[in-house]
A and B are shown apart, each in its own frame.
Chain A
Amino acid sequence: MTQVLLFNVFNGLIVGAFYALMALGLSLILNLSGVINFAHGGFLAIGAYLAYSMMPVLGFWGGLVVAPLLTAFLGVIVERVLIRRLYGRDPLYSLLLTFGLAYILEDGTRYIWGAQSLPYPIPGWLTTPLSTSFFFLTGYRLFMVGLVALVVAALFLILGRTRLGMRIRAGTADLETVSALGVNVGVLRNLNFGLGIYLAGLAGVLAAGMLGLQPTIGTSLIMPSFVAIIVGGLGSLPGTLLGGLLIGVASGVTTVFFPSATEAVMYVMMGIVLLVRPRGLLGEEGRVQ
């Protein structure tokens, strides 16, 4: 029993890392632009399908590099054409718009690639588990965790050390002043959105390796992402990371005791966290609400 529990905790961290990747992209967009991006799952699916289509030419690794970039490019266009009109308005309009966008993306992927699930093979050497007893630590999952760690480190480096990152952080705190100081806020939001969508596309390519590839691949992942953000606290990227990991571990532990509740437990956890600590675990005072 303890071994199963321990395994599930480890495994939960791995799964949580994946949730965190998706949630971080969503969090970036929410923090700076105040946009609730319901279409995030749709961009995830696009990333996965693009990688699938390019696989014969670029292989698995090429797809992993190129597909998220293409998805980010699509995101940048979408931001410029559609999302830009939402700034300054009630955030509920972003909800309606991205909701409509999510519909279009799901239907579009179904129209282009079909409803039938597509097989997405990953390189053989990646699929072997590391040891027979720790069988759930497959090369692919560890690779995924490593990639997420890399991405998170890069993200924090960008935000902490580059000018773009500094502007994003400043913009999250006070966009008006940043604009008054001469920064092109439009470009800033655009790049920030693109960065968030890049993370979605990357999550999509990774997901395709573990899950069946079909048009609704993103829709089941969007709620855990929102929950991760809230549990961690709005406006806090470390909080989002923590939230994702917590969801993963909570689901894993719940499987041991109450297997059919693995999906419901993240809501219970969110409810408890919010009732005890109304701003999430690492949320700060006066944050974006």
Chain B
Amino acid sequence: MTAVDKRLSTPVIWILLLTMPYWMDAMGGYTELACRVVVLGLAAMALNFLLGFTGVLSFGHAAYFGLGAYGAAMTIKFMVPSTALAIVVGVIVGTVAAAVIGALIVKLRGTYFAMVTIAFGQVFYFIAFRWNTVTGGDDGITGWQRQPLNLGFTTIDIQHSDIAFYFLVLALFAFAVAIMALLLRSPLGRTLVAIRENERRALFLGIPVERHIWLSFVISGAFCALAGSLYALLSNFTDPRSLHWTLSGNFVIMAVLGGMRSFWGPLVGAAIFVVLQDYVSSHTENWMSVIGLFFVLVVTFFPRGVVGIIKRRVVS
């Protein structure tokens, strides 16, 4: 990343994010769409922590996303109607699952690793589907809403104000992204990149590769779970689809589309994916062909994802 666009990209992106509800409406979008972009962007960036920076493909991250969603939904519906607690529970559930599963599968590599993550994701999907007394089965968990945030000195009504909820989501996004950026800049982050570049050499250098992959898996799972909790709060709803491998696939698509090697790439990919799908599907029944064609064109002409185009323009 050249000095120019590194210094430019972060402030530009933050300005866009902070003002999104305002220009999104003018563009024919709506605040909830902006929320979706940020939440799914967080999930894609979390996945990319593992995929783009550690070089490990997981095709089952929807498992942690979905567990975060169910954790949050079940907390509000069955336990305590508190948004803050819902988010915390969701993150904890997803992180614990990632830690356990990560430990089990860390010996696998490549396509095998990716497929076994699908296996776990689908088992969770099946449990959510069948255990319908607790999870509501195919109907999901309905009949609850995100609760206003009581901060002691003031209450933020995220239940009725979409914009207030957007800024809550953005704040948590900022928190997550800051931690990820810090980690990537730290020795841990550099070790992960080393593993991505050449795992065998890292091993020879005495780096405990498996432990680092596990750590990366847990961190990315934790932030994915955070995204999942926010997603449930966004829709006031969750269902087994949030655990399905097709959603995992969408996260991978977003990361690759935007640019795996770039920090902000997955956010750009998520923005394009969500907004394009939303816009095109309102105008034509054949939106799948349009989106499919778009993917094909991006892959064919832009080897480093969409961010690659922007970088090239800056450089030249």
Contact = CB atoms under 8 A, between A and B. Distances in A.
Interface string A201-230: 000000000000000000000010011001
A280 B291 contact: no
A167 to B, nearest CB: 24
Interface in A70-117: 82, 85-86, 89-90, 92-93, 95-97, 99-104, 106-108, 111
Interface stretch (A13-21, A50-58, A121-129, A264-272): A264-272
B300 interface: yes
B289 A263 contact: no
Contacts of B296: 82, 97, 100-101, 104
Interface of chain B: mostly helix, strand, loop or mixed: helix
B115 A274 contact: yes
Contacts of B253: 95-96, 99
A278 interface: yes
Given A89-B303, A103-B295, A279-B112, A267 B122 contact: yes
A274 B298 contact: no
Given A93-B299, A104-B289, A271 B112 contact: no
Contacts of B130: 260-261
B256 A100 contact: no
Interface stretch (B102-110, B148-156, B173-181, B229-237): B102-110
A148 interface: no
A99 B109 contact: no
B226 interface: no
A101 B293 CA distance: 7
A275 interface: yes
A226 to B, nearest CB: 7
Interface string A15-50: 000000000000000000000100000000000000
A234 interface: yes
B96 interface: no
A180 to B, nearest CB: 25
A289 interface: yes
Contacts, number: 113
Given A230-B111, A261-B126, A289-B109, A104 B256 contact: no
Interface in B104-131: 104-105, 107-112, 115-116, 118-120, 122-123, 125-126, 130
A98 to B, nearest CB: 9
Interface string B273-295: 00000000000001111011111
Given A95-B252, A264-B126, A271 B119 contact: yes
A43 to B, nearest CB: 14
A265 B126 CA distance: 10
A93 B256 contact: yes
Contact of B292 (A104, A260, A267, A268): A104
Nearest to A289: B110
Contacts of B257: 96
B291 A223 contact: no
A288 to B, nearest CB: 8
A82 B300 CA distance: 7
A32 to B, nearest CB: 15
Given A103-B291, A260-B130, A85 B112 contact: no
A106 B288 contact: yes
B249 interface: yes
Contact of A278 (B108, B249, B288, B303): B108
Contacts of B34: none
A263 to B, nearest CB: 7
A99 B115 contact: no
A235 to B, nearest CB: 10
Contact of A104 (B57, B123, B293): B293
Contact of A274 (B116, B125, B256, B288): B116
B300 A97 contact: yes
Given A82-B300, A106-B288, A267-B123, A99 B295 contact: yes
B292 A95 contact: no
A92 B289 contact: no
A97 B299 contact: yes
Contacts of A89: 303
A90 to B, nearest CB: 8
A220 to B, nearest CB: 11
Count chain A CB atoms within 10 A of each CB in B122, B245, B253, B257 and give the residue with the most: B122
Interface of B: 51, 57, 104-105, 107-112, 115-116, 118-120, 122-123, 125-126, 130, 245, 249, 252-253, 256-257, 260, 286-289, 291-296, 298-300, 303
Given A97-B299, A101-B292, A104-B293, 10 more contacts: A85-B300, A99-B295, A100-B295, A100-B299, A103-B288, A103-B289, A226-B118, A227-B115, A230-B115, A264-B125
